[in-house]
Chains A and B, each alone.
Chain A
Amino acid sequence: MWYLLRKLGLLLLTAWAAITLNFLLPRLMPGTPADAAIAKLAQNGPVDPATRAAIEAQLGVPTGDAWSQYVQYLGNVSRLDFGVSYTFFPQSVSTLVMNALPWTLVMVGLVTIIAFVVGTLLGVLAAWKRGTWLDTLPTLGGTFTSAFPYFWTALLVVFFLGYQLKWFPTSGAYGLESTPNLSLAFISDVIGHAWLPALTILITSVGGWILGMRNNMINTLGDDYVTFAEANGLRSRTVAVKYAARNAILPNLTGFGLSLGGVVGGSLLVEQVFNYPGVGYLLYNAVTNQDFPLMQALFLMLTISMLLANFLVDLLYGLLDPRTRR
């Protein structure tokens, strides 16, 4: 119980620090939202001097000193009211986040889980059968693919599988003429559009899980209690899974918790390349447009889910490894 309380207290303290930092960081960026809006217009040619006044009037750029803004911000956060976005004026930040979140959660979330499960299993297998092709293939392959940058893989995939072979649609989360609903046709449309981005994330992330799990596993396999279990004549499956893998998975689990927490941040580059309407793309828009309200909401969501994921992993640790409970 004390363990749980201590972890909870830490969670609250970190959350407050994160919320405050979250208020400060966007304001430390040079330039105002109006500057950003003009910058966007200016890419199409010189901007009329009168435009600036209209933009400032439209956006209602923040007033008051930093302290009163901070107090107001804390109040709004506690009510989960993040105001109106500058970039997508006059839409509210909550609507924007709620529209983007499901796409990211389903696509990136599922792929992260699949990559973790597949990677970890392959890692266990590679360590158990080390020296055979079951080891060399995933290990070498994993080293290779995990060195690919996200965007580069994404560009290759979209160019060859999308534009050249035309096997998959190249952008968006669903077809040009469909409107989100719960029909079977729409869901299959969504799955069709998720293939390429999912494949990209899978390719670039599965290698890390394989390597991590294999290395932990090899260490554990050298431990005395594993040798003892083998000497006792236990079945090799039991030794591999119940003795070695259960202990070896702990560091990987921390990593998994962090990646799950990071899922809500979306996959910025992949979403950019595939025009996927997820949180990553939203975050990109928020940052490039000095959209303080949107940025605050997204960073906050990201930090809170990161903290929660960590907290849950900590609890899980307690279950998996009794030593941490002390």
Chain B
Amino acid sequence: MIDGTRRTRTRLTSALGLGLVAVLSLSACAAPEPGSKTGTAGSSSLMLAADNGSPTFVKNFNPFVIEKRTTATIINEPLMVVNALDGKSTNFLQTNYTQPDAKTIVSDIREGVTWSDGEEFTADDVVFTYNLLKEFPALDSTGVWSRLESVNAEGQKVTFTLHAEDSSAPIIVLAVPIVAEHLWADVADPATFTNESPIGTGPYTLGDFNANQYKLEKNPDYWQADKVAAEQLVLPAANSQLDIVNNGYDWAYAFMSDVENTWVAADEGNQFWFPAGGTVAIAPNLTKAPYDDPNFRKGMSLALERDSIADNASEGTVDAAGQQGLLLPTQAEWLTDAIPDEGMVTQDTAAAEAAFAEAGYTIQDGKLVDADGNQATMTITTPNGWTDWLRAVQEIQKQYTAIGIDVKINQPQPAAYFQAVQNGDFDVAMTSFGGNGSVYQGYYNLLSSDFLQPVGTSASSNYQRYSNPEVDAMLTEFRTTVDEARQKELAGELQEVMYNDVPVISVYYAGLWGLFSDKSFTGWPDADNPYMTPTPYTSAALVILTTITKADG
């Protein structure tokens, strides 16, 4: 019933006494809670759906493990936070970084920062954290030590030496949450350490913790405390769609069906922003005929009506993706002029049939058949239960069936899906790529033969098993050069490869499901000001929580 409190806030101010009595009597007769900010109408507490209990919370604030409370990355800040939408970074525990050459990163550590237990934060803490990840590879979930050679501190400068020239390294290397040496040095096994009383440099410290809800309280000694608007973060464990619509959240991360009539209609000031956070593509298995023929893949690309697939998958809240492999509009500055229409491919049945003909497939009696008269068949593999992907696959099936391909859908359980995809045990698989802020990294993970494994052996990326020495050479040069103009040229060439060689068929953008309320706080990121991804379960929350301001009134 407390969400009733929130809804009646404007009336409260005008008819204070009467309203208060009404609200009090209402809450008295109703069940206590559910999932609401208890008695905080107009307060500066921020309710956040960022961390889901399953079904309850386990106290684990180790920022390096998977099963952590996601806010561990708010308590422990990294050197910088990268906006995955455009690759731009915001400094936290550093004031600046430079790359004197492509093998070295020098970070200027911020002075005057203290840990929330009062100890001073120093460059030694930074070196300690990186060496901890080196000693315990289980903690190194972004693979920084696959890039690093050594980390050394000299005064307030920390120097990162890389194995090889790598201009794309900073956004990954400098994003590690930093922990305190004086607390972690004595931990025997950091991989199983649950860090129940987390100490960090971040804007919030752990408050009341219960299995069904916990709170983070503002850190009064935070180095940029004046930028932190919310005094308290409230995180309930249960964040179902019904909870989110009914309980008056300030910030939630969830795909909401029919978002205009559910979330937006639920309360005044509710808004949503679903930017592209990755590209959903169908990956043909390039070790199998006919997918090893680029003409056939071109035909597959031209035969798709991507807008209707995007509409089906996410109710029109995300856009169709172009064949250039970039996240648009946020990576628009990387676009090349060498491919038409910014890489967007529109359905062209005649051109698709021509491409299939080049691959040796012709239309007979409405069926796409090879030289022997056998119909082309295709099984699309997609994880069971991922309904948005399934709806997209069903639409793709409809469109390919219309052109004469016999399409089946295979829906294994998610774990089995990943096993099949990594082992190359599929015809065509739904997959996603990109979305980590680095154009280079997106293409590298998708196309590099470094990930190449024979069918039957698990590949950690490049599932379609693409291998092209020219592309490898482009990627190597892209990684080693720090010259931005040259990087853009190379990105352009890679876009041409994506467009002409069709290693995967991009279909639509995977949305990031940001739901915000303007009632208590304003300044959330949106399409006009995409300063950060709306993802509260990552370090991105640090940037947003230090940007939003209290709403007036």
Contact = CB atoms under 8 A, between A and B. Distances in A.
Interface in B363-386: 383, 386
Interface stretch (B285-293, B393-401, B414-422): B414-422
Contact of B31 (A41, A48, A53, A169): A169
A45 B513 CA distance: 11
Given A45-B278, A171-B35, A285-B54, A39 B415 contact: yes
Contacts of A174: 212
Given A32-B419, A35-B418, A44 B535 contact: yes
B500 interface: no
12 contacts: A29-B413, A31-B417, A45-B512, A46-B510, A48-B142, A48-B172, A49-B460, A51-B142, A162-B34, A166-B1, A277-B55, A277-B56
Given A48-B445, A158-B242, 11 more contacts: A36-B418, A46-B432, A46-B435, A48-B172, A50-B143, A54-B139, A58-B65, A58-B138, A167-B31, A176-B213, A277-B211
B451 interface: yes
Interface string A259-299: 00000000000010001110001000100111000000000
Given A170-B242, A177-B208, A52 B66 contact: no
A43 B278 CA distance: 11
Contacts, number: 182
Interface size class on chain A is 35 or more
A46 B436 contact: yes
Nearest to A172: B212
Contacts of A57: 137-138, 191
Given A168-B31, A171-B34, A45 B435 contact: yes
Nearest to B193: A90
Contact of A39 (B34, B55, B383, B512): B383
A179 B32 contact: no
A289 B67 CA distance: 12
A49 B436 CA distance: 12
Contacts of B242: 158-159, 163, 170
A53 B512 CA distance: 26
Given A58-B66, A167-B31, A275 B512 contact: no
A169 B278 contact: no
Contacts of A58: 65-66, 138, 191
Interface size class on chain B is 35 or more
Contacts of B33: 169, 175-176
A55 interface: yes
Interface in B411-445: 412-420, 422, 432-436, 445
B96 to A, nearest CB: 25
A38 interface: yes
Interface in A90-145: 90-91
Interface in B23-65: 30-35, 38, 53-56, 58, 65
Interface of A: 29-33, 35-46, 48-55, 57-58, 87-91, 158-159, 162-163, 166-172, 174-180, 189, 192, 271, 275-277, 281, 285, 288-290
A177 B38 contact: yes
Interface in B183-235: 191-192, 194, 208, 210-213
A212 to B, nearest CB: 33
Interface centre among B53, B191, B236, B277 (most CB of A within 10 A): B191
Given A54-B139, A166-B30, A87 B67 contact: yes
Contacts of B141: 48, 50-51, 54-55
B169 to A, nearest CB: 12
